[in-house]
């Protein structure tokens, strides 16, 4: 990155400084965003600037724990910002010291383009609609000349196009037509693609395919109640909706079992901080577990640091479709306000998110993060066959879910960070929304690169790959990582070591350096990965205190070596990368594996993961490490995915292994437990053996409640 200007501290605002937050990792408050905007505006007085990003610049790990664990000072409260100055095709970025209301750093770079904001995307549609060359193309495509109000576009960053490189701030407009304002336009894609210069506010080029395709004359397919009524409504059932659906309600008569102090969550022995930013969305930090009075660190920070949705059609200009949604648009910037009883069910605690608008004025996304509990099924159970399973214990669990949903133009990504009472942390992704579509002529086949999901609607093959960034702190700062492979004994059947041929074991291969850490999922060995503290040995197993990453949704990146996709997502070429943690000078050190500024990066040169991997020789054993994990799915569309996709679910988990000395949730009260002696003494009914039975449960075709059911858990058969 070119650094044209580095300026020393300089007080620039006379306004009162906003109060310090309760916790150093708390996102910027509305007052802080306004104060930072004030400092920036006074620096740029007389110039036309557009605010792009104002966010917390998190304290480095050492400063944080010095405050938290060593009674040290509250870390510097800093904001990182990006602005665009009229007439300059690049970014201004810098750092503001909030309590001092002073500018600490400022750099101006003409070879970088900033993340896109909602305002950037919204402007494009009007620019495209009113452009004479676009109108001409719409008419050629068969759209009525007086219907330009029904031209819509999904504005995407251009990704990278060598015709312009990063010299202009560019978007590609994926153009559609709605036959009515309430249609889903994805049934009616148009065949050309305007390129918009955002700084100039105009269309500078239109990519027109050699083969022209007229807009489809088929009626749109859609999903709102009016469309369902049209599709399925009958005289007997006008709405068209299934009428066999009885409500399932969640009751938590005594409220929730978690406690929140600001952004600090306390739940079932876990404690952690819930942060949120424009880019990664939810950030979970300083995750600890109270192990019977011993508060043990597990992870310093976990987040989704990048993702890529590369499309698989080789036909120009579709190769350009490869959205790096987190770095180019932001899982925070695109986050939805969530609604009670719809997105989130039960007893909910919400957190809002605050961002600057283009003038620097704070805007709030209400209910950006949903926090709630759900029943988690059985946590553990055992029954003794000797007395027909009457000696028994059955313990139900709860799970805590911290979630958000963000919309990446056509798709919705629903992210659920799930905590289980056995110490497991899961990430579940539910993918829904609408396929990205392209027109297919009446007599055309999409070939192997896509699927016709509706008449004249081609949905191209694509992948959804994520980079999970894990900064572990398992029982301390020095950690290691390894693959764990299920292997047959190396000794043949009949040998002294494996006489009967049945032996197998878990082979742990510790990464000594970055190069060794570039590994892939292996289904043949049921590969998992261990992140562990080699200095803390479990007294029973003799193995190091670990968290095991269990992740099987591990599609390989299908774009080939030399492709733009592979160059711009160096992290997607392997399923794991372990690099040393480093607080790089003044920057945003090792947070973003496709680089800090992703838009219009050619993929050349040393940025992000490519830079961190370097020559692969950095040591990553028994030190402060970052573990990056690439996971996700390959999506070959099918008609079932249209006009809106039923949620496709994939997940991964981090499980404690050799971390605890026994089952960590033995102290969760069972629903029901009875010893052999109690069975013999014929203890029954709602008494000593019935500890936490759900009294609202009942038989489906009977009116009686659980406590009096003949088949309740206490009764003797
Ligand atoms: N998937 C590309 C994208 C994401 C967010 C907003 C616009 C486009
Ligand atoms: Cu998909």
DSSP secondary structure string, 310-364?
EB---STTGGG-EE-HHHHT-TTTTBPPP-BTTTB-SS-EEEEEEEE-TTS-EEE
Residue with tokens 């309590």: 99
Buried b (16+ CB within 10 A) or exposed e, 249-277: eeeeeeebebeeeebbbebbbbbbbbbbb
pLDDT in tens, 141-162: 999 989 999 999 999 999 999 9
**C-alpha torsion angle, residues 418, 419, 425, 427 (rounded to 10):** 0
Q: Of all protein residues, whose CA lies closest to atom 1 belonging to ligand 1?
A: 408
Fold: same for 118-232 and 259-434+462-635+644-657: no
Beta bridge partners of 485: 507
Q: How far is the CA of 125 from the centre of ligand 1 (A)?
A: 13
Distance (Å, whole) CA 194 – CA 207: 6
Q: Whose CA is nearest to atom 5 of ligand 1?
A: 408
**Distance in angstroms (rounded) separating the CA atoms of residues 118 and 155:** 10
Indicate the domain borders of the chain: 2-109, 118-232, 259-434+462-635+644-657
For 573-687, where are the E strands, in sequence order? 576-580, 625-635, 645-657, 672-674
| Geometric angle at alpha carbon 593, from 588 and 594, rounded to 5° | 100
Ligand nearest to the CA of 307: 1
Nearest partner of 507 among 528, 523, 491, 493, judged by Cα: 528
Q: Is 711's pLDDT higher than 60?
A: no
Output the pLDDT for position 684.
60
Rounded to whole angstroms, the maximal C-alpha distance in the chain is 89
pLDDT at residue 49, as a whole number: 97
Q: Which residues are known catalytic residues?
A: 325, 411
Q: Are 369 and 353 in contact (CB under 8 A)?
A: yes
Nearest residue to 110 (alpha-carbon basis) of 129, 133, 84: 84
How remote is the CA of residue 414 from the centroid of ligand 2, in Å?
13
- Most confident region among 176-180, 182-186, 659-663 by mean pLDDT: 659-663
For residues 2 and 365, the model is more confident at: 365
What pLDDT score was predicted for residue 14?
56
Token pair for residue 62? 């050492």
Distance 325 CA to ligand 1 centre (A): 6
CA-proximal residue: ligand 1, atom 4 (nearest): 408
228-258 pLDDT per residue, tens: 999 999 999 999 999 998 999 889 999 999 9
Contact 481, 531 (CB under 8 A): yes
Pocket of ligand 1 (CB under 6 A): 121, 154-156, 323, 325, 329, 334, 408-409
Q: How far, in Å, is the centroid of ligand 2 from the Cα of 507? A: 35
Express as a percent the part of the chain with pLDDT over 70: 94
CA dihedral 234, 238, 243, 248 (to 10 degrees): 150
CA separation (Å) from 417 to 146, 158, 548, 577, 686? 48, 31, 16, 22, 36
Q: Which atom of ligand 1 sits closest to the CA of residue 329?
A: 5
518-550 burial: b if 16+ Cβ within 10 Å, else e: bbebeeeeebbbbbbbbebeeeeeeebbbbbbb
- The answer on pLDDT for 710 being more than 90 is no
Distance CA 471, CA 626 (A): 5
The chain-wide mean pLDDT, for the chain, equals: 94
Instruction: Pick the ligand that lies closest to the CA of residue 650.
Output: 2
What mean pLDDT comes out for the span 413-437?
A: 98
Question: What residues does the ion ligand 2 have nearby, CB within 5 Å?
Answer: 635
DSSP labels for 534-569? Answer: EEEE-TTT--EEEEEEE---BPPP-SPTTSHHHHH-
Q: How confident is the model over 177-188, as a mean pLDDT?
A: 93
Instruction: Identify the DSSP state of 175.
Output: E
Mean pLDDT along residues 511-521: 98
Instruction: Say whether pLDDT at 587 is over 50.
Output: no
Which of 118, 119, 154, 599 has most ligand 1 atoms within 8 Å of CB, for mutation? Answer: 154
Sequence-ordered alpha helix ranges (H) in 607-668: 608-613
Ligand 1 atom closest to residue 325's alpha carbon, by position in its atom list: 4
**Ligand 1 pocket test: which of 120, 123, 159, 323 has the largest number of ligand atoms within 8 Å of its C-beta?**
323
Q: What is the pLDDT of residue 256?
A: 97
Confidence of residue 589 (pLDDT cuts 50, 70, 90): confident
Residue 114 CA to ligand 1 center (angstroms) comes to 14
In the predicted structure, residue 384 carries a pLDDT above the cut 80? yes
Identify the nearest ligand to the CA of 323 by its number. Answer: 1
pLDDT tens-digit profile of 330-374?
A: 999 999 999 999 999 999 999 999 999 999 999 999 999 999 999
Give the CATH architecture of domain 2-109: Roll (3.10)
Looking at the CA of 172, name the nearest ligand. Answer: 1
Q: Is residue 686 predicted with pLDDT exceeding 50? A: no
The pLDDT of residue 717? 43
**Model pLDDT for residues 20-60, shown as the tens digit of each residue:** 999 999 999 999 999 999 999 999 999 999 999 999 999 99
268-306 tens-digit pLDDT: 999 999 999 999 999 999 999 999 999 999 999 999 999
The residue whose CA is least distant from atom 7 of ligand 1 is 409
Contact by Cβ (8 Å): 549, 654: yes
Give the 3-state secondary structure of residue 433.
strand
pTM score, whole prediction: 0.96
pLDDT at 130 over 90: yes
pLDDT confidence of 15, banded at 50, 70, 90? confident
To test the ligand 1 pocket, which listed residue (331, 409, 435, 635) has its Cβ within 8 A of the most ligand atoms? 409
In the predicted structure, residue 8 carries a pLDDT above the cut 50: no
**pLDDT per position as a tens digit, 642-670:** 999 999 999 999 999 999 999 999 999 99
**Strand partners for 392:** 383, 674
Indicate if the pLDDT at residue 583 is higher than 90.
no
Mean pLDDT along residues 694-710: 73
Structure tokens at 195: 């390129």
End-to-end Cα, the chain, rounded Å: 75
Query: Phi, psi (5° rounding) for residue 219?
Result: -65, 145
At 205-235, the pLDDT tens digits run 999 999 999 999 999 999 999 999 999 999 9
In the numeric block, which tokens belong to residue 612?
A: 């961190």
- Assign 10 a pLDDT band (cuts: 50, 70, 90): very low
| Of 334, 460, 466, 598, best ligand 1 pocket probe by most atoms within 8 Å of the beta carbon | 334
- 584 pLDDT exceeds 80? no
Residues forming beta bridges with residue 537, ordered by sequence position: 544
Eight-class DSSP state of 410: T
pLDDT value at 178 more than 50: yes
How many angstroms separate the CA atoms of 108 and 222, rounded?
Answer: 46
- Tell me the CA–centroid distance for residue 462 and ligand 2, in Å: 6
**Domain 259-434+462-635+644-657 top-level CATH class:** mainly beta
Question: Who contacts 360 (Cβ-Cβ below 8 Å, separation ≥6)?
Answer: 33, 34, 36, 37, 38, 40, 41, 51, 54
Mention the CATH class of domain 118-232. Answer: alpha beta
Residue 463 CA to ligand 2 centre (angstroms): 6
């Amino acid at each position: 990155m070119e650094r044209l200007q580095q300026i020393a501290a300089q007080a620039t605002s006379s306004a009162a400084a906003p109060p310090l937050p309760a916790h150093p990792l708390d996102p910027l408050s509305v007052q802080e965003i306004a104060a930072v905007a004030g400092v920036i505006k006074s620096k740029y007085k007389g110039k036309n600037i557009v605010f792009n990003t104002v966010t917390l610049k998190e304290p480095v790990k050492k400063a944080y724990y010095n405050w938290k664990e060593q009674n040290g000072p509250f870390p510097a409260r800093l904001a990182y910002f990006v602005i665009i100055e009229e007439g300059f095709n690049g970014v201004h970025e810098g750092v503001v010291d909030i309590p001092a209301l002073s500018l600490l750093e400022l750099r101006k770079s003409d070879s970088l383009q900033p993340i896109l904001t909602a305002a950037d995307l919204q402007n494009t549609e009007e620019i495209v609609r009113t452009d004479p060359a676009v109108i001409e193309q719409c008419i050629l495509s068969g759209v009525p000349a007086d219907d330009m109000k029904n031209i819509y576009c999904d504005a995407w960053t251009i990704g990278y196009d060598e015709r312009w490189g990063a010299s202009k701030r560019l978007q590609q407009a994926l153009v559609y037509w709605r036959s009515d304002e309430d249609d889903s336009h994805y049934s009616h894609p148009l065949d050309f693609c305007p390129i918009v210069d955002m700084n100039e506010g105009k269309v500078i080029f239109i990519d027109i395919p050699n083969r022209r395709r007229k807009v489809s004359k088929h009626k749109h397919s859609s999903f709102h109640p009016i469309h369902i009524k049209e599709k399925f409504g009958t005289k007997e059932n006008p709405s068209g909706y299934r009428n066999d659906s009885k409500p399932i309600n969640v009751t938590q008569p005594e409220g929730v079992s978690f406690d929140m102090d600001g952004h600090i969550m306390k739940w079932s022995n876990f404690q952690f901080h819930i942060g949120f930013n424009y880019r990664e969305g939810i950030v979970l930090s300083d995750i600890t577990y109270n192990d019977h009075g011993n508060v043990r660190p597990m992870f310093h920070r976990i987040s989704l640091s990048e993702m890529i949705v590369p499309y698989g059609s080789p036909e120009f200009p579709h190769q350009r479709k490869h959205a790096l949604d987190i770095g180019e648009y932001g899982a925070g910037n695109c986050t939805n306000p969530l609604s009670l009883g719809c997105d989130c069910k039960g007893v909910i605690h919400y957190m809002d998110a605050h961002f600057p608008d283009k003038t620097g004025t704070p805007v709030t996304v209400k209910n950006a993060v949903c926090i709630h509990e759900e029943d988690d099924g059985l946590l553990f159970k055992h029954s003794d066959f000797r007395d027909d399973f009457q000696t028994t214990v059955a313990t139900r669990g709860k799970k805590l879910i911290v979630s958000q949903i963000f919309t990446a133009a056509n798709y919705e990504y629903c992210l659920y960070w799930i905590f289980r009472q056995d110490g497991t942390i899961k990430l579940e992704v539910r993918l829904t929304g609408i396929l990205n579509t392209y027109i297919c002529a009446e007599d055309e086949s999409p070939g192997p690169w896509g699927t016709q999901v509706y008449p004249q609607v081609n949905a191209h093959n694509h992948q959804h790959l994520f980079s999970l960034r894990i900064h572990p702190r398992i029982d301390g700062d020095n950690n290691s990582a390894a693959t764990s492979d299920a292997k047959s004994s190396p000794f043949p059947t009949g040998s002294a070591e494996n006489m009967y041929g049945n032996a197998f074991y878990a082979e742990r291969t510790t990464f000594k350096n970055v190069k060794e850490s570039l590994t892939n999922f292996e289904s043949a060995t049921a590969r998992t990965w261990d992140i562990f503290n080699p200095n803390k040995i479990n007294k029973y197993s003799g193995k190091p205190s670990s968290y095991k990453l269990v992740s099987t949704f591990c599609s390989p990146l299908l774009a080939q070596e030399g492709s733009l996709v592979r160059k711009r997502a160096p992290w997607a070429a392997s399923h794991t990368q372990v690099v040393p943690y480093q607080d790089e000078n003044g920057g945003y050190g090792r947070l973003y594996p496709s680089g800090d500024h992703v838009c219009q990066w050619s993929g050349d040169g040393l940025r992000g993961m490519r830079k961190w991997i370097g020559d692969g020789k950095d040591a990553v054993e028994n030190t402060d490490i970052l573990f990056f994990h690439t996971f996700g799915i390959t999506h070959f569309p099918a008609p079932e995915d249209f006009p809106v996709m039923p949620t496709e679910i994939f997940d991964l988990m981090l499980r404690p292994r050799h971390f605890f000395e026994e089952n960590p949730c033995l102290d969760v009260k069972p629903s029901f437990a009875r010893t052999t002696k109690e069975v013999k003494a014929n203890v029954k009914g709602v008494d000593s053996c019935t500890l936490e039975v759900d009294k609202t449960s009942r038989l489906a075709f009977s009116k009686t409640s659980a406590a009096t059911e003949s088949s309740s858990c206490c009764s003797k058969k």
